[in-house]
Structure 1
Amino acid sequence: MNNQMENAVSSFFYYIWNTWSEDECKVVYGEMYRHFWGKWSQMTDKGIFGAAERFYAELTDHYREKLVERAVSLYDGKARRKLPDDSKILVCSECGSTQIEIQAWVDVNTNEYHSDVADDIWCLLCKDNVGTCTKYDYTEMMQEWWRFNNTDKLEYLTGLKASDFSSDNSGQTFAEASNEWWNSKSYEEKRNIYLANNQRQRHETEHY
């Protein structure tokens, strides 16, 4: 076994042991994640030991490749890769997803990249050609949206009630608790909250 193959095998197992989760399943398999998470759950019903091997064996080559590509993108053998800075990660400017693709000319024999076919970026979630921005910029946009939500909207989003906080400076303590709730969320969780509620706001504005 050459070093590259050995590294990929190690990356796969370290990924499964340390990172694989339902959220990761969503990242790898998108809208089909429920099917694959169900399959994974069936494998673990037989015991955690050997579940990774059983799960891998159940996948077709196409879906194995998706899983291994994700593992190698996060792990370099046994070591977790240092993820690029958010200012260097491109996302869909419409929905913030990293699941975006561009066609490219690649050598059939060496897999060496030569050039992009076109500037059109395809978002797997939007199912359309989209523009891009950095993950940092999209995060800032979501943060700006969060800051401008009023008390009623924050209560709706967080499930907290301003009236439950001490009457002494209750507005400030409620705001701090709301911000703590928001800041505890991952990028994907914030993105889902933002999209669900920002799209609703735009729809209501259009019909005002």
Structure 2
Amino acid sequence: MFYLVLFAMVAIFLGLRLYAVLGKRTGHEQVLPKPAEDRPATVPQVLPRTAEPVADREPEARVVDGNAQAGLRGLISADASFDVTQFLEGARSAYRMILEAFWKGDRETLGWLCEDHVRNAFGEAIDARTTAGHVLDNRLISIERVLITDAGVDGRTAKVTVAIDADIAAVTRDGEGNLVAGSLTDAVVTHDVWTFQRTLKSSDPNWKLADTDEA
């Protein structure tokens, strides 16, 4: 009985955590902007919003590439609850969670946050390093920038692509903990391009990672 209760608590926690990372807004909240140094790593607190017409909101130029403006307006028109600030905060959190899950070999978390083909690709890479006897001891030092570079709706599928610049300390060790490659003292600048997607009007409000690339 104890284990049944424990597993139920873990399942509830994971569900709430995922919804907090990339959950859909109801259209009745407003995210209050904070200075970058004061923002938490997870989705920021939301407060009651005023009666501002959502469809009339323009995408924020400082976090949206010019080429993505039209597509983002189309997405907001199709899904009036979509909020740029909320999405970007969630993308930051998802980026950290997915990377850390991959480094640790946490397939369950990857299953929550990734589409099946992406999860399978991560799984193959985890299997390869396990076969080689390697363990990753990586650290995400900072996320310097998250920029929406593309957005749009294809049928019922909404997609948003973000360019993410981050500093990562990458270290590979063998099964005994001996250093194989990398250093924790020298962060490597990475430029990733990730695409998230979700089905509009679906009962599942969550965005999932659908594609990864390098800038």
- Give the TM-score of the pair, scaled to structure 2: 0.25
Higher relative contact order (CA 8 A, sep 6+): 2
Higher helix share: 1
- Give the TM-score of the pair, scaled to structure 1: 0.25
Higher strand share: 2
Q: Which has the larger radius of gyration?
A: 1
